[in-house]
Structures are given as C-alpha cells and as structure tokens.
Amino acid sequence: MTISVIVPIYKVEAYLRQCVDSILAQTYTDLDIVLVDDGSTDNCPAICDAYARKDARVQVVHKPNGGLMSARQAGLRVAKGDYVGFVDGDDWIEPDMYARFAAAIDRYAPDMALCEFYYAFADHNEPSTQHLQRAYYTKAQLAQEIYPTMLYHAPYYSFGINPCCWSKVFKKELLEQCLHPVTPKVKIGEDAAFTYPCLLAAESLAYVDGCLYHYRNNAQSMTAAFDPHLTETIFIPLDILRTYFDTDKRALFAQYQMYAAYLLQLWVRNQASLDCDLDRKRMRQSCARVCQNQELRALLASVPGALPRQVAVAVRAVQQQKPGQLYLLIKAWNLYYKLRNGRA
C-alpha cells in the first residue's frame, strides 16, 4: 500500500531540509513524496529538485504562486498513493508516523486516520489534545461521539477534532471528492474547508494515539502573513460548510455559529497585525463590508456559547451593524501588538 505525502512549499528554505529528511527517514518506506514548489523565490525549487535526483520516491511540481490550497490541490492531482497525507514545508514528523498510520490502515481499512501532534515553539513543545476515546470509529459512532463537538468543544476556542490536514491521512478518492472543489482563494480556515467534509463523508475513522507531527509556529509560514484580501475570503469556509451544518442539525449548527465567531476573531487580529498596510479609510471600508454581511449577521444573532470579551465586542459590532466599534477594536489589538513588540 502506497501513501502519498504532499508537501506544499513557499519560502521555507531554512526549514525545508529538516522537513523532507524527516519524511525520507520514515520506517515505512512505501511512500510517494510530492514536493510542490508554489512559486517560491528562495532556494526551495533547487532543493526540491536535488531531492528528486537522490530518491526515486520524490516527485516535484513547480507552479506559479497560488497559495496553500492551490499547492495542495496540485499535489493531489499527481499523487499515486492509495492514501494521502500532508506535511507543511516548515514542519517535521516522527520517524514512525506513517508506519503507525499504515498499521491502523492494515487493521481497520478506515476512510481516514489521525494522530496527535506537537505545537513546536522555539523553547518548548505543547501536545495537542483531541477528544477521541477509541482506536476505531464506525459511522454510527462518529455520528454519536465525534460529530456533535468536532468543530467546537468548550472552552472557547477548542476544536473537538482539530481541522489540520497534516496530522491525518485520507483515502485518495475521499480527498478528491472534498479537496478539489474548494476555491484556492481561501486563506484562513482552508483545512476546515475540506477536512470536516471528509470527516462527515467518511464511513470510518482510525485514531493513532501519540504526538507524531511537529507543527512549527513560524511567523513566515504560508498562513501567517497579513492578507490584504482577507475581508473577501475569510468567510469562504462558512460558505463551504453551510450545507453540512444546517439548521436542521441543531448540535452541528451550534458549532457552526461558534466557528463563525472564531473566524471573525481571526479577521480582526489579521487586520490588526503589525504588517497591515491599510490606511484608515480602507480599514473602515473593510469593517463596513464585514458588518454588512447578512449571512454572518444571521449566524451571530444568537451565538450559543460563552465568548471572551474581545470576541463578544466584535460579534456585537456585527450584530448591531456598527463598523466604527469594529474599527476601534482593531486599533486596540494593533496597540497591544505594538506594546508587546516594543513598537508603541
């Protein structure tokens, strides 16, 4: 059984060798390794080509820059494996990660499998905690035990099942069904836009206990930088998930509402980031567009869970269509970031 490992790469030259070396060092060797150079302007393209010359399991895709989602989709189009996993170009994995996934696949033949992971900081690691109690879940068990809290698990904000795709493997046909339709424009929530549809479509899930993936908290990663187009794209995951989390499924819909508040929080913080170059007029225009989003206002009209104060302020500003309040909240966050970084 072949497992394809797709690695989206953009300007991570300092970390790329550690990433690819950790994949090549896997104790499970039946791997199809797809390095996707997303128009990187550093030395990453040459590094990728060098690995392809050294190991026949490595194939390289060079493409114009299109973002993380387009890189993952490009990798999936050439993937040869029965199952597919992802590793971000600035992360690394434990030597037995795919061996343990392969063992779970051999035993259960699940549609998906997932493991725990580490948040890797400069001076310490923090293990993830997902809310799984079984090594294997049938469809009925998923519906009863996983779906009701997978998108939101109190306290705010915790995922019952983290949406990250890189601590998971998927049957290729399931992934093709859920990943390819997602627009490459999505920049935040891009994992949720296809991992939750995959999970909802899956007939079974295997859980591999243990932290096997190291997620580097890197300010230069493909998802961390300020995005001037975020006002137009931040709520795309809500549009994609709407058909799965409709009002007829109350437990799922309550999670959907909390996720809407969470995306609003991410938008506020992105607008407040220190590298944001929007002037006052354009910032106020962005706040007005968010407050005018009728579907977002409808979702936030009756958020079912307790919210932190700053999130509640943002939600209330949208509910009451008060972009000025949203603007002041962004400026307050920006001041906090400046003070924290000694730039006030």
List, for residues 308-344, the tens digit of each pLDDT value.
999 999 999 999 999 999 999 999 999 998 898 887 6
Tell me what pLDDT residue 248 has: 56
Report pLDDT for 286.
96
pLDDT band at 228 (very low <50, low <70, confident <90, very high): confident
Give CA–CA dist 285/294, Å, rounded. Answer: 16
The domain defined by 3-216 folds into Spore Coat Polysaccharide Biosynthesis Protein SpsA; Chain A (3.90.550)
Specify the pLDDT at position 223. Answer: 43
According to DSSP, residue 147 is labeled: G
> What average pLDDT score do residues 223-241 get?
84
pLDDT on residue 137: 98
Q: What is the pTM of this model?
A: 0.93
% of residues, the chain, pLDDT over 70:
96
Does the pLDDT at position 210 exceed 50?
yes
Please report the pLDDT score of residue 250 as a whole number. Answer: 66
pLDDT tier for residue 122 given thresholds of 50, 70 and 90? confident
**Local confidence band at 200 (pLDDT 50, 70, 90 cut-offs):** very high
pLDDT digits (tens, 9 = 90+) for 43-62: 999 999 999 999 999 999 99
pLDDT surpassing 60 at residue 114: yes
Cα 337 to chain centroid distance, Å, stands at 23
**Residue environment code for 30-67, b if the CB has 16+ CB neighbours within 10 A, otherwise e:** ebbbbbbbbbbeeebbebbeebeeeeebbbbbeeeebb
Tell me how far apart the alpha carbons of residues 67 and 116 are, in angstroms, rounded to a whole number: 26
- Per-residue pLDDT reduced to its tens digit, 141-186: 999 999 999 999 988 999 999 999 999 999 999 999 999 999 999 9
The residue whose two tokens read 């506020």 is 268
Residue 129 has pLDDT above 70, yes or no: yes
Examine the pLDDT at 221 and tell me if it is beyond 50. no
Tell me the mean pLDDT in the region 220-241. Answer: 78
CB contact at 8 A, 283 and 341: no
Average pLDDT, integer, range 98-108: 98
pLDDT at 136: 98
Dihedral angle computed from the Cα positions of residues 158, 188, 97 and 138, in that order, rounded to the nearest 10 degrees: 60
Least confident of 58-62, 64-68, 129-133, 157-161: 129-133
Q: Is the pLDDT of residue 7 over 60?
A: yes
Mean pLDDT of 239-266: 85
Question: For residue 225, what pLDDT is reported?
Answer: 66
Report the pLDDT value the prediction gives residue 180, as an integer from 0 to 100. 95
Q: In the predicted model, what is the mean pLDDT of the chain?
A: 93
Within 8 A by CB and 6+ apart from 271, the residues are 230, 231, 278, 283, 286, 330
Interatomic CA distance for residues 108 and 62, integer angstroms: 36
Report the pLDDT averaged over residues 117-134: 92
Pick the residue with more confidence: 124 or 131?
124
Collapsed DSSP state (helix, strand, coil) of residue 70:
helix
Q: Where are the chain's structural domains? A: 3-216, 230-340
How many of the other CB atoms lie within 10 Å of CB of 266? 14
